[in-house]
Amino acid sequence: MSVISPFRIVGVSSIIALLFIVPAQGQEEAPAPNDTVAAEREVLLERVRVVPESGTPVIASEIFVAVDAVGDTLHVPGIAHLSARAIIAPIQEELVARGGRVEIGVDKGGARFTLVAAPDLWHEAMRQLIVALFRDPPADAAVRSERESIANELRVREPNPTDVVTRITDQVVFGDDHPWGMPTAGIAETVERLTTDEVDTYLRTHFLPERALVAVVGPVDPDEIRSFLRPFLGEDESLRTEVESFEPEEEPVRAEYPFITTWITASYLLPPDADFEAIRLMAALITDRFDFGPRSREVYNIRGQVRTFGHGGELRLEIVVPPEHADSWEDRLVTAVRDLGRNVLSPTDFQRAYRQYRGRRLFELLLPEERAAAHIASLRLLHASGVSDDPLPAEISSERLREAAGRLPEPVRVQVGPFSRPGEEDEA
């Protein structure tokens, strides 16, 4: 099996410093010290991206806190999710009373906190959020309350086919013992055993201001916003997280589960310099092509997700079909992706597909909080590789689409469904 090596997300200013230490060929003199400081300060600002939009009536912001993914005792499944909810719960009601809104999300790379508030209330609401994140210890009552709520939610969700397939696919792609192979929200049994002391230790170890990225969108002055945030976040550029190596399964995996349909997943792991916008277009083309219709009557559902993890990301295609058609549809799905990497679409087909995709993508970014989230995704890739993804739809050509699809690795294939037929076990 091919092994994906461990990687470290490092501040981009470290890369710039190396460029000044090792001169390029033909370079006669190093830049002046003041130029070096200016370059480093410019990159440092990219921990905080501020996008002024005078016509937006609210200020939307997102804080992303990167966390390690190493197999130590701190990474009990669901501890990041519980920690994020427990520290926000005490201020949630007050933020809502002030007219603000805060939402929490946890993915494989870290935790994100989205705050939307009126311009005259945003500074105080943001101060409350940052203090809760990086300075206040978790309240025991909040931990106990959120722990019970999460455990109850998980008991309801755990039999859900979508959750089952996600858990199994994550295990196949990342490994049973890898933090990314474990359920992000945890499982009820493990969450119930987490203590306030464990949550406090996790927060002090992983939820650190130097690991934070911030995006702010709205009617703001960029210099004023950065000055406001600097005392809370500091100026340390060292955003560093460690991720264990993992070995995706190379052979197709078949997992028996008592569904009435078969769920097929093709997972493509993406490097940090992948063309994410072109891959999003490709996912849209595939899902549109195979969505239920005259040529896809066996398809119950299909979806495509493109996610960034900081070190890179993943394209995950998922299709639901009758068990007797599972193998043929798995081949059709993988072949369709492979064909996009070999052939350029005709101008008519490409323009029609691209117009539909661009319209949907712009609609997705209609809300300012979605635009803030897109900028955070861009910053995560920038800190991983020095390559920044365009957070808003840029012009994509059919050749660019073909090139992006052609660079995709072979997928990790998973089928989850009823592979045994009635009577087979008795005959065996």
- The residue ranking higher by pLDDT, 298 or 424, is 298
Query: For the segment 15-30, what is each residue's pLDDT rounded down to a tens digit?
Result: 223 222 233 333 334 3
Query: For the segment 94-112, what is each residue's pLDDT rounded down to a tens digit?
Result: 888 888 899 999 988 889 9
Short-list 423, 254, 408, 251, CA closest to 341: 408
Q: With bands split at pLDDT 50, 70 and 90, how would you rate the model's confidence at 3?
A: very low
Query: For the segment 51-72, what is each residue's pLDDT rounded down to a tens digit?
Result: 999 999 999 999 999 887 655 5
Looking at residue 267, its amino acid is S
CA distance 282 to 287: 9
pLDDT of 40 strictly over 80:
no
CA distance 382 to 237: 12
- The residue ranking higher by pLDDT, 189 or 384, is 189
Least confident of 65-74, 219-228, 258-267, 354-363: 65-74
Considering the chain, what is the average pLDDT of its residues? 83
List of domains in the chain: 44-243 (3.30.830.10), 253-427 (3.30.830.10)
**Which pLDDT does position 361 carry in this prediction?**
87
pTM comes to 0.82
Q: Show the CA angle centred on residue 308, arms to residues 291 and 340, nearest 5°.
A: 45
CA distance 108 to 67: 9
| Mean pLDDT along residues 395-407 | 94
pLDDT of 42 strictly over 60:
no
Residues 234-245 as b or e (16 or more Cβ within 10 Å = b): eeebebbbebbe
**Which pLDDT does position 220 carry in this prediction?**
97
Residues 106-129 as b or e (16 or more Cβ within 10 Å = b): bbbbbbbbbbbbeeeebeebbebb
21: CB partners within 8 A, 6+ apart: none
CA distance 402 to 103: 37
Tell the residue number behind the tokens 């699809």, with chain if given: 405
- The residue ranking higher by pLDDT, 389 or 189, is 189
Half-sphere exposure of 333 (CA within 13 A, CB side): 33
